[in-house]
Protein backbone atom coordinates (compact mmCIF):
# COMPACT_ATOMS: atom_id res chain seq x y z
CA UNK A 1 0.00 0.00 0.00
CA UNK A 2 1.28 3.46 -0.91
CA UNK A 3 1.76 5.51 2.30
CA UNK A 4 0.16 8.94 2.62
CA UNK A 5 0.75 11.51 5.34
CA UNK A 6 -0.94 14.84 5.91
CA UNK A 7 1.01 17.89 7.07
CA UNK A 8 -0.26 21.38 7.78
CA UNK A 9 0.80 22.35 4.23
CA UNK A 10 -0.80 19.43 2.46
CA UNK A 11 -0.87 15.72 1.73
CA UNK A 12 2.25 13.73 0.82
CA UNK A 13 2.56 10.45 -1.07
CA UNK A 14 5.60 8.41 -0.04
CA UNK A 15 7.11 5.00 -0.64
CA UNK A 16 7.36 1.69 1.23
CA UNK A 17 10.39 -0.58 1.06
CA UNK A 18 11.71 -3.31 3.34
CA UNK A 19 8.99 -2.54 5.87
CA UNK A 20 10.02 1.11 6.21
CA UNK A 21 8.01 4.06 4.91
CA UNK A 22 9.89 6.96 3.37
CA UNK A 23 8.91 10.49 2.41
CA UNK A 24 11.60 12.37 0.49
CA UNK A 25 11.99 15.85 -0.91
CA UNK A 26 9.55 17.48 1.53
CA UNK A 27 9.85 21.29 1.35
CA UNK A 28 10.26 22.94 4.75
CA UNK A 29 10.71 26.46 3.32
CA UNK A 30 10.02 28.37 0.12
CA UNK A 31 12.90 28.06 -2.40
CA UNK A 32 15.50 30.69 -1.36
CA UNK A 33 15.92 32.11 -4.86
CA UNK A 34 15.50 35.51 -6.50
CA UNK A 35 14.55 38.09 -3.88
CA UNK A 36 14.77 35.36 -1.21
CA UNK A 37 18.48 34.71 -1.84
CA UNK A 38 20.28 35.59 1.43
CA UNK A 39 16.99 35.94 3.30
CA UNK A 40 15.79 33.91 6.29
CA UNK A 41 13.78 30.82 5.31
CA UNK A 42 10.07 31.43 4.69
CA UNK A 43 7.50 28.74 5.67
CA UNK A 44 5.88 26.77 2.86
CA UNK A 45 2.29 27.75 2.00
CA UNK A 46 -0.38 25.09 1.66
CA UNK A 47 -0.68 23.18 -1.61
CA UNK A 48 -3.74 21.52 -3.06
CA UNK A 49 -4.02 17.86 -3.88
CA UNK A 50 -1.25 15.36 -3.22
CA UNK A 51 2.48 16.04 -3.50
CA UNK A 52 4.87 13.31 -4.62
CA UNK A 53 7.45 12.55 -1.91
CA UNK A 54 9.26 9.58 -3.41
CA UNK A 55 12.46 11.25 -4.63
CA UNK A 56 15.09 13.44 -2.97
CA UNK A 57 15.10 17.14 -3.70
CA UNK A 58 18.25 18.75 -5.12
CA UNK A 59 21.22 19.34 -2.86
CA UNK A 60 22.47 22.83 -2.00
CA UNK A 61 24.86 24.57 -4.38
CA UNK A 62 28.31 23.02 -3.98
CA UNK A 63 31.36 21.81 -5.86
CA UNK A 64 32.51 18.34 -4.86
CA UNK A 65 35.81 16.68 -5.76
CA UNK A 66 36.90 13.07 -6.36
CA UNK A 67 38.44 12.78 -2.89
CA UNK A 68 35.00 13.20 -1.35
CA UNK A 69 33.81 9.91 -2.83
CA UNK A 70 36.04 7.92 -0.46
CA UNK A 71 34.26 9.25 2.63
CA UNK A 72 30.79 9.12 1.09
CA UNK A 73 30.09 12.62 -0.23
CA UNK A 74 29.26 11.97 -3.90
CA UNK A 75 28.49 14.49 -6.59
CA UNK A 76 24.73 15.11 -6.65
CA UNK A 77 22.15 17.23 -8.43
CA UNK A 78 22.40 20.74 -7.01
CA UNK A 79 20.23 23.84 -7.08
CA UNK A 80 19.61 27.00 -5.09
CA UNK A 81 16.15 25.51 -4.57
CA UNK A 82 17.42 23.06 -1.94
CA UNK A 83 15.45 23.37 1.30
CA UNK A 84 14.03 19.86 1.52
CA UNK A 85 13.94 17.17 4.19
CA UNK A 86 13.52 13.40 4.17
CA UNK A 87 11.79 11.05 6.61
CA UNK A 88 12.04 7.32 7.27
CA UNK A 89 9.55 5.74 9.66
CA UNK A 90 8.34 2.23 10.56
CA UNK A 91 4.74 3.48 10.58
CA UNK A 92 2.49 6.51 10.64
CA UNK A 93 0.79 5.47 13.87
CA UNK A 94 2.33 5.52 17.34
CA UNK A 95 4.77 7.95 18.92
CA UNK A 96 8.42 7.05 18.33
CA UNK A 97 11.68 8.79 19.24
CA UNK A 98 12.83 11.14 16.47
CA UNK A 99 16.44 11.49 15.25
CA UNK A 100 17.27 14.53 13.08
CA UNK A 101 20.62 14.59 11.27
CA UNK A 102 22.56 17.74 10.35
CA UNK A 103 25.10 16.76 7.69
CA UNK A 104 28.73 17.83 7.63
CA UNK A 105 31.03 18.90 4.83
CA UNK A 106 32.73 22.05 6.04
CA UNK A 107 29.51 24.01 5.50
CA UNK A 108 30.38 23.96 1.78
CA UNK A 109 29.48 20.41 0.63
CA UNK A 110 27.13 17.61 1.65
CA UNK A 111 23.42 16.86 1.73
CA UNK A 112 20.68 14.94 3.45
CA UNK A 113 20.48 12.43 0.59
CA UNK A 114 23.92 10.79 0.69
CA UNK A 115 23.74 6.97 0.49
CA UNK A 116 25.78 6.66 3.70
CA UNK A 117 22.93 8.32 5.66
CA UNK A 118 20.07 6.16 4.43
CA UNK A 119 17.66 6.31 7.36
CA UNK A 120 15.94 2.99 6.75
CA UNK A 121 18.52 1.04 8.78
CA UNK A 122 18.25 3.09 11.98
CA UNK A 123 14.48 3.39 11.62
CA UNK A 124 14.06 -0.37 11.24
CA UNK A 125 16.54 -1.46 13.89
CA UNK A 126 15.35 0.91 16.59
CA UNK A 127 11.72 1.65 15.78
CA UNK A 128 12.48 5.37 15.48
CA UNK A 129 11.69 8.14 13.00
CA UNK A 130 14.76 9.43 11.16
CA UNK A 131 15.00 12.82 9.44
CA UNK A 132 17.71 14.31 7.22
CA UNK A 133 17.66 17.68 5.47
CA UNK A 134 19.59 20.16 3.35
CA UNK A 135 20.59 23.69 4.30
CA UNK A 136 22.22 26.44 2.27
CA UNK A 137 25.99 26.09 1.96
CA UNK A 138 29.01 28.29 1.33
CA UNK A 139 28.33 31.81 0.15
CA UNK A 140 24.61 31.05 -0.22
CA UNK A 141 24.24 30.28 3.48
CA UNK A 142 27.03 32.32 5.07
CA UNK A 143 27.44 35.68 3.29
CA UNK A 144 27.32 38.60 5.71
CA UNK A 145 25.63 41.41 3.76
CA UNK A 146 23.45 43.64 5.96
CA UNK A 147 22.84 45.88 2.93
CA UNK A 148 20.87 42.96 1.47
CA UNK A 149 19.28 42.02 4.79
CA UNK A 150 21.65 39.06 5.10
CA UNK A 151 23.02 38.23 8.54
CA UNK A 152 25.42 35.68 7.10
CA UNK A 153 23.83 32.96 9.21
CA UNK A 154 20.96 32.03 6.91
CA UNK A 155 22.22 28.42 6.95
CA UNK A 156 21.73 28.25 10.72
CA UNK A 157 18.25 29.68 10.27
CA UNK A 158 17.59 26.93 7.70
CA UNK A 159 18.58 24.35 10.31
CA UNK A 160 16.31 25.94 12.88
CA UNK A 161 13.48 26.03 10.33
CA UNK A 162 13.90 22.32 9.59
CA UNK A 163 13.96 21.45 13.31
CA UNK A 164 10.91 23.64 13.92
CA UNK A 165 9.09 21.88 11.07
CA UNK A 166 9.93 18.51 12.60
CA UNK A 167 8.63 19.58 16.01
CA UNK A 168 5.36 20.73 14.45
CA UNK A 169 4.75 17.99 11.86
CA UNK A 170 6.50 14.79 12.92
CA UNK A 171 3.48 13.34 14.74
CA UNK A 172 1.90 12.76 11.30
CA UNK A 173 4.80 10.38 10.57
CA UNK A 174 4.58 8.36 13.77
CA UNK A 175 7.10 10.49 15.67
CA UNK A 176 7.07 11.80 19.23
CA UNK A 177 7.32 15.59 18.96
CA UNK A 178 8.42 15.71 22.61
CA UNK A 179 11.47 13.49 22.04
CA UNK A 180 13.74 14.86 19.30
CA UNK A 181 17.45 14.03 19.19
CA UNK A 182 19.57 16.24 16.98
CA UNK A 183 22.77 14.58 15.78
CA UNK A 184 25.32 15.58 13.18
CA UNK A 185 28.95 15.22 12.21
CA UNK A 186 31.83 17.63 11.53
CA UNK A 187 30.29 20.93 10.34
CA UNK A 188 26.95 19.45 11.38
CA UNK A 189 28.34 18.85 14.87
CA UNK A 190 29.94 22.29 15.08
CA UNK A 191 26.67 23.85 13.94
CA UNK A 192 24.82 21.87 16.63
CA UNK A 193 27.14 23.34 19.24
CA UNK A 194 26.34 26.77 17.84
CA UNK A 195 22.60 26.02 18.07
CA UNK A 196 23.07 24.96 21.70
CA UNK A 197 23.97 28.56 22.51
CA UNK A 198 21.35 30.34 20.40
CA UNK A 199 18.07 31.69 21.72
CA UNK A 200 16.44 31.12 18.31
CA UNK A 201 17.07 27.37 18.64
CA UNK A 202 15.51 27.11 22.08
CA UNK A 203 13.04 24.21 22.24
CA UNK A 204 14.13 22.86 18.84
CA UNK A 205 15.50 19.58 20.26
CA UNK A 206 15.63 17.52 23.45
CA UNK A 207 18.83 15.41 23.16
CA UNK A 208 22.14 16.21 21.54
CA UNK A 209 24.82 14.17 19.72
CA UNK A 210 27.62 16.14 18.03
CA UNK A 211 30.07 13.80 16.26
CA UNK A 212 33.49 15.36 15.63
CA UNK A 213 32.03 18.78 16.27
CA UNK A 214 31.77 21.00 19.33
CA UNK A 215 32.46 24.53 20.58
CA UNK A 216 34.52 26.42 18.04
CA UNK A 217 35.05 30.13 17.30
CA UNK A 218 32.71 31.73 14.76
CA UNK A 219 34.01 33.64 11.76
CA UNK A 220 34.70 37.20 13.03
CA UNK A 221 32.51 39.90 11.54
CA UNK A 222 35.43 41.82 10.02
CA UNK A 223 36.60 38.68 8.22
CA UNK A 224 33.07 38.04 6.94
CA UNK A 225 32.83 41.65 5.76
CA UNK A 226 36.09 41.27 3.84
CA UNK A 227 34.74 38.17 2.07
CA UNK A 228 31.56 40.01 1.12
CA UNK A 229 33.63 42.92 -0.21
CA UNK A 230 35.42 40.51 -2.55
CA UNK A 231 32.08 39.31 -3.94
CA UNK A 232 30.84 42.88 -4.36
CA UNK A 233 33.99 43.88 -6.20
CA UNK A 234 33.89 40.80 -8.42
CA UNK A 235 30.29 41.34 -9.54
CA UNK A 236 30.05 45.13 -9.79
CA UNK A 237 28.58 46.08 -6.43
CA UNK A 238 26.78 44.48 -3.55
CA UNK A 239 23.39 45.60 -4.86
CA UNK A 240 23.90 43.43 -7.96
CA UNK A 241 24.63 40.15 -6.16
CA UNK A 242 21.06 38.86 -6.16
CA UNK A 243 21.06 39.00 -9.95
CA UNK A 244 24.27 37.00 -10.41
CA UNK A 245 23.72 33.43 -11.69
CA UNK A 246 24.13 30.85 -8.91
CA UNK A 247 26.91 29.01 -10.78
CA UNK A 248 28.94 32.23 -11.00
CA UNK A 249 28.54 32.80 -7.26
CA UNK A 250 29.69 29.23 -6.65
CA UNK A 251 32.67 29.54 -9.01
CA UNK A 252 33.89 32.64 -7.19
CA UNK A 253 33.30 31.06 -3.79
CA UNK A 254 35.54 28.16 -4.78
CA UNK A 255 38.20 30.54 -6.07
CA UNK A 256 38.20 32.55 -2.83
CA UNK A 257 38.37 29.37 -0.76
CA UNK A 258 41.48 28.24 -2.62
CA UNK A 259 43.48 31.47 -2.36
CA UNK A 260 46.92 30.57 -0.98
CA UNK A 261 47.38 33.92 0.78
CA UNK A 262 44.08 34.38 2.60
CA UNK A 263 41.44 31.72 2.06
CA UNK A 264 37.84 32.78 2.62
CA UNK A 265 35.96 30.77 5.24
CA UNK A 266 32.25 30.01 5.25
CA UNK A 267 30.52 29.16 8.52
CA UNK A 268 28.63 30.71 11.44
CA UNK A 269 29.41 34.41 11.73
CA UNK A 270 29.55 36.71 14.75
CA UNK A 271 26.93 38.97 13.19
CA UNK A 272 25.39 40.35 16.39
CA UNK A 273 21.86 39.62 15.16
CA UNK A 274 21.33 35.89 14.65
CA UNK A 275 24.44 34.94 16.62
CA UNK A 276 24.06 37.62 19.28
CA UNK A 277 24.55 35.53 22.42
CA UNK A 278 27.88 34.41 23.79
CA UNK A 279 27.38 30.81 22.71
CA UNK A 280 30.15 29.41 24.90
CA UNK A 281 28.77 31.18 27.95
CA UNK A 282 25.28 29.91 27.16
CA UNK A 283 26.53 26.31 26.98
CA UNK A 284 28.57 26.75 30.16
CA UNK A 285 25.54 28.13 32.00
CA UNK A 286 23.07 25.74 30.41
CA UNK A 287 20.97 28.70 29.32
CA UNK A 288 19.06 26.71 26.70
CA UNK A 289 20.33 23.14 27.18
CA UNK A 290 20.30 22.53 30.93
CA UNK A 291 19.03 19.01 31.58
CA UNK A 292 19.39 17.86 27.95
CA UNK A 293 21.36 14.60 27.64
CA UNK A 294 24.56 15.04 25.62
CA UNK A 295 26.63 12.36 23.86
CA UNK A 296 29.82 13.76 22.32
CA UNK A 297 33.08 12.45 20.93
CA UNK A 298 35.43 12.15 17.99
CA UNK A 299 37.58 9.70 16.08
CA UNK A 300 41.06 8.88 17.32
CA UNK A 301 42.91 10.09 14.21
CA UNK A 302 40.59 12.78 12.84
CA UNK A 303 43.24 14.79 11.02
CA UNK A 304 44.79 11.96 8.99
CA UNK A 305 42.06 12.61 6.41
CA UNK A 306 43.63 16.02 5.82
CA UNK A 307 47.33 15.36 6.51
CA UNK A 308 47.59 12.08 4.59
CA UNK A 309 45.45 12.67 1.51
CA UNK A 310 47.55 14.03 -1.34
CA UNK A 311 50.87 13.34 0.39
CA UNK A 312 51.81 17.01 0.77
CA UNK A 313 53.21 16.43 4.27
CA UNK A 314 54.91 13.07 3.62
CA UNK A 315 58.36 14.70 3.83
CA UNK A 316 57.70 16.63 7.04
CA UNK A 317 60.83 16.72 9.22
CA UNK A 318 61.49 17.87 12.78
CA UNK A 319 62.32 21.40 11.70
CA UNK A 320 59.10 21.65 9.71
CA UNK A 321 57.12 20.23 12.61
CA UNK A 322 58.45 22.87 15.01
CA UNK A 323 57.77 25.61 12.47
CA UNK A 324 54.14 24.48 12.07
CA UNK A 325 53.74 24.04 15.82
CA UNK A 326 54.81 27.66 16.39
CA UNK A 327 51.73 28.73 14.48
CA UNK A 328 49.67 27.25 17.33
CA UNK A 329 51.84 27.15 20.43
CA UNK A 330 54.03 30.21 19.74
CA UNK A 331 57.04 30.24 22.07
CA UNK A 332 55.98 26.93 23.64
CA UNK A 333 56.19 25.00 20.37
CA UNK A 334 59.27 22.94 21.33
CA UNK A 335 57.76 22.09 24.70
CA UNK A 336 54.44 21.11 23.14
CA UNK A 337 56.07 18.83 20.59
CA UNK A 338 58.11 17.23 23.38
CA UNK A 339 54.93 16.60 25.42
CA UNK A 340 53.33 14.86 22.45
CA UNK A 341 56.44 12.86 21.62
CA UNK A 342 56.94 11.68 25.21
CA UNK A 343 53.28 10.77 25.74
CA UNK A 344 53.07 8.88 22.46
CA UNK A 345 56.31 6.99 23.12
CA UNK A 346 54.92 5.82 26.48
CA UNK A 347 51.82 4.49 24.72
CA UNK A 348 53.85 2.83 21.99
CA UNK A 349 52.49 5.13 19.27
CA UNK A 350 54.26 6.55 16.24
CA UNK A 351 56.40 9.61 16.89
CA UNK A 352 57.32 10.65 13.35
CA UNK A 353 56.92 14.38 12.68
CA UNK A 354 53.82 13.66 10.58
CA UNK A 355 52.26 11.49 13.31
CA UNK A 356 52.86 14.16 15.94
CA UNK A 357 51.52 16.94 13.74
CA UNK A 358 48.42 14.88 12.94
CA UNK A 359 47.80 14.31 16.65
CA UNK A 360 48.20 18.04 17.36
CA UNK A 361 45.79 18.92 14.54
CA UNK A 362 43.26 16.34 15.77
CA UNK A 363 43.36 17.69 19.30
CA UNK A 364 43.24 21.31 18.26
CA UNK A 365 40.21 21.03 16.00
CA UNK A 366 38.26 18.14 17.48
CA UNK A 367 39.26 16.49 20.76
CA UNK A 368 40.00 19.51 22.93
CA UNK A 369 36.84 21.41 21.91
CA UNK A 370 34.80 18.24 22.55
CA UNK A 371 36.30 17.89 26.03
CA UNK A 372 35.60 21.55 26.73
CA UNK A 373 31.99 21.15 25.61
CA UNK A 374 31.55 18.05 27.77
CA UNK A 375 33.11 19.82 30.78
CA UNK A 376 30.77 22.79 30.49
CA UNK A 377 27.66 20.68 29.91
CA UNK A 378 28.39 18.11 32.61
CA UNK A 379 28.70 20.92 35.18
CA UNK A 380 24.94 21.41 35.04
CA UNK A 381 23.68 18.20 33.38
CA UNK A 382 24.72 14.81 34.72
CA UNK A 383 23.56 12.97 31.58
CA UNK A 384 26.75 13.68 29.64
CA UNK A 385 28.73 10.93 27.90
CA UNK A 386 31.96 10.96 25.92
CA UNK A 387 33.34 8.43 23.43
CA UNK A 388 36.43 7.91 21.27
CA UNK A 389 35.98 6.00 18.01
CA UNK A 390 39.22 4.14 17.32
CA UNK A 391 38.41 1.56 14.65
CA UNK A 392 41.03 1.89 11.85
CA UNK A 393 40.14 2.21 8.18
CA UNK A 394 41.79 -0.28 5.81
CA UNK A 395 41.81 2.31 3.01
CA UNK A 396 45.10 3.70 1.66
CA UNK A 397 47.01 0.76 3.15
CA UNK A 398 45.84 1.68 6.64
CA UNK A 399 47.44 5.14 6.61
CA UNK A 400 44.20 6.85 7.62
CA UNK A 401 43.75 5.05 10.93
CA UNK A 402 40.48 6.08 12.56
CA UNK A 403 40.07 9.21 10.50
CA UNK A 404 37.48 11.96 10.19
CA UNK A 405 34.07 10.74 8.90
CA UNK A 406 34.85 7.03 9.36
CA UNK A 407 32.28 6.68 12.15
CA UNK A 408 29.31 7.85 10.06
CA UNK A 409 28.55 4.61 8.17
CA UNK A 410 28.94 2.64 11.42
CA UNK A 411 26.30 4.81 13.08
CA UNK A 412 23.94 4.55 10.10
CA UNK A 413 24.46 0.85 9.34
CA UNK A 414 25.72 1.64 5.84
CA UNK A 415 29.23 0.17 5.86
CA UNK A 416 28.32 -1.91 2.80
CA UNK A 417 27.11 1.06 0.70
CA UNK A 418 28.93 2.42 -2.37
CA UNK A 419 32.54 3.24 -1.44
CA UNK A 420 32.00 2.46 2.22
CA UNK A 421 33.32 -1.10 1.94
CA UNK A 422 36.67 0.31 0.86
CA UNK A 423 36.57 2.94 3.61
CA UNK A 424 35.26 0.77 6.45
CA UNK A 425 36.32 -2.71 5.48
CA UNK A 426 33.96 -5.64 5.81
CA UNK A 427 33.43 -8.77 7.85
CA UNK A 428 32.07 -9.79 11.29
CA UNK A 429 34.06 -7.16 13.23
CA UNK A 430 32.68 -4.35 11.08
CA UNK A 431 29.13 -5.69 11.37
CA UNK A 432 29.39 -6.11 15.13
CA UNK A 433 30.77 -2.62 15.73
CA UNK A 434 28.15 -1.06 13.48
CA UNK A 435 25.35 -2.81 15.35
CA UNK A 436 26.77 -1.61 18.68
CA UNK A 437 27.08 1.94 17.38
CA UNK A 438 23.53 1.90 16.06
CA UNK A 439 22.19 0.44 19.28
CA UNK A 440 23.89 2.93 21.59
CA UNK A 441 22.66 5.85 19.48
CA UNK A 442 19.16 4.41 19.43
CA UNK A 443 19.24 3.86 23.19
CA UNK A 444 20.33 7.46 23.68
CA UNK A 445 17.50 8.70 21.47
CA UNK A 446 14.95 6.61 23.33
CA UNK A 447 16.14 6.87 26.93
CA UNK A 448 18.67 9.72 27.04
CA UNK A 449 21.56 7.37 27.86
CA UNK A 450 23.80 5.31 25.52
CA UNK A 451 23.73 2.24 27.77
CA UNK A 452 23.30 -1.15 26.09
CA UNK A 453 24.04 -4.75 27.11
CA UNK A 454 26.76 -5.28 24.48
CA UNK A 455 28.94 -2.53 25.97
CA UNK A 456 30.78 -2.50 29.32
CA UNK A 457 29.56 -0.20 32.09
CA UNK A 458 29.82 3.37 30.84
CA UNK A 459 29.99 6.05 33.54
CA UNK A 460 28.73 9.53 32.73
CA UNK A 461 31.42 12.10 31.99
CA UNK A 462 32.75 14.39 34.67
CA UNK A 463 35.95 16.50 34.79
CA UNK A 464 37.25 14.41 37.69
CA UNK A 465 37.50 11.01 35.99
CA UNK A 466 36.85 11.94 32.35
CA UNK A 467 35.43 8.47 31.64
CA UNK A 468 35.53 7.83 27.88
CA UNK A 469 34.18 4.84 25.96
CA UNK A 470 36.51 3.46 23.29
CA UNK A 471 34.47 2.22 20.33
CA UNK A 472 36.50 -0.03 18.07
CA UNK A 473 37.61 -3.63 17.60
CA UNK A 474 37.18 -3.84 21.36
CA UNK A 475 35.01 -1.53 23.41
CA UNK A 476 36.27 -0.39 26.80
CA UNK A 477 36.18 2.58 29.16
CA UNK A 478 39.30 4.61 29.88
CA UNK A 479 39.61 7.36 32.43
CA UNK A 480 41.26 10.54 31.15
CA UNK A 481 42.71 9.22 27.85
CA UNK A 482 45.76 11.07 26.49
CA UNK A 483 45.68 13.31 29.53
CA UNK A 484 49.22 14.68 29.20
CA UNK A 485 48.20 16.31 25.93
CA UNK A 486 44.95 17.59 27.45
CA UNK A 487 46.85 19.15 30.35
CA UNK A 488 49.17 20.87 27.85
CA UNK A 489 46.22 22.52 26.10
CA UNK A 490 44.56 23.39 29.41
CA UNK A 491 47.74 25.24 30.45
CA UNK A 492 47.63 27.55 27.44
CA UNK A 493 46.00 30.97 27.45
CA UNK A 494 42.46 30.71 26.11
pLDDT per residue as tens, the chain (494 positions): 899 999 999 999 999 998 999 999 999 999 999 999 999 999 999 999 999 999 999 999 999 776 777 787 877 899 999 999 999 999 999 999 999 999 999 999 999 999 999 999 999 999 999 999 999 999 999 999 999 999 999 999 999 999 999 999 999 999 999 999 999 999 999 999 999 999 999 999 999 999 999 998 899 999 999 999 999 999 999 999 999 999 999 999 999 998 877 789 999 999 988 988 778 999 999 999 999 999 999 999 999 999 987 777 888 999 999 999 999 999 999 999 999 999 999 999 999 999 999 999 999 999 999 999 999 999 999 999 999 999 999 999 999 999 999 999 999 999 998 789 999 999 999 999 999 999 999 999 999 999 999 999 999 999 999 999 999 999 999 999 999 999 999 999 86
Q: Would residue 186 show up in a list of annotated catalytic residues for this protein?
A: yes
302 is catalytic: yes
The pLDDT value given to residue 69: 78
pLDDT score of 278: 78
Q: What is the 3-state secondary structure (H, E, C) of the chain?
A: CCCEEECCCCEEECEEECCEEEEEEEECCCCCCHHHCCCCCCCCCCCCCEEECCCCCCECCCCCCCHHHHHCCCCCCECCCCCEEEEEECCCCCCEEEEEEECCCCCCCCCCCCHHHCCHHHHHHHCCEEEEECCCCHHHHCCCEHHHCECCCHHHHHHHHHHHHHHHHHHHHCEEEEEEEEEEECHHHHHHHHHHCCHHHCCCCCEEEEECCCCCCCECHHHHHHHHHHHHHHCCCHHHHHHCCHHHHHHHHHHHHCCCCCCCCCCCECCCCCCCCCHHHHHHHCCCCCCCCEEEEEECCCCHHHHCCCCCCCCCCHHHHHHHHHHHHHHHHHHHHHHHHHHHHHCCCCCCHHHHHHHHHHHHHHHHHHHHHHHHHHCCCCCEEEEEECCCCCHHHHCCCCCCCCHHHHHHCCCCCCCHHHHHCCCHHHHHHHHHHHHHHHHHHHHCCCCCCCCCCCCCCCCCCCEEEEECCCCEEEECCCHHHHHHHHHCCC
Q: What distance in Å separates the CA atoms of residue 296 and residue 367, rounded to the nearest whole number?
A: 10
Q: Which of 111, 186, 393, 405 is catalytic?
A: 186
Distance CA 486, CA 386 (A): 15
CB 348 within 8 A of CB 254: no
The pLDDT assigned to 71 comes to 81
Q: Is residue 404 flagged as an active site residue? A: yes
Catalytic choice (302, 393, 405, 470): 302
Amino acid sequence: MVPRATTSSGRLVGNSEKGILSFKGIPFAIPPVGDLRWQPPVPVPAWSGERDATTFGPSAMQRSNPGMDLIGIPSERTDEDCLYLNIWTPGLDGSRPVMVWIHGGGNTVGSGSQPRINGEHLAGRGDVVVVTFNYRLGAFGFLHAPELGASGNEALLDQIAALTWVRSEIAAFGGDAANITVFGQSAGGFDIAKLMGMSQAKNCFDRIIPLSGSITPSVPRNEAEATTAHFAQQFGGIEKLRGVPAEDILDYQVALSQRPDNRARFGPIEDGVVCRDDGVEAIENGTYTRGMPLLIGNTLNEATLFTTMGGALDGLDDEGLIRMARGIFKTQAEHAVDVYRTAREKRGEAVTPLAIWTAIATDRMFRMPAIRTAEFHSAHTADTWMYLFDYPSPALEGKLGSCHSLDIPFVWGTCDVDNMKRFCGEGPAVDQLSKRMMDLYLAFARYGAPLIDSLPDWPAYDPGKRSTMHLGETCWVEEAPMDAERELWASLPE
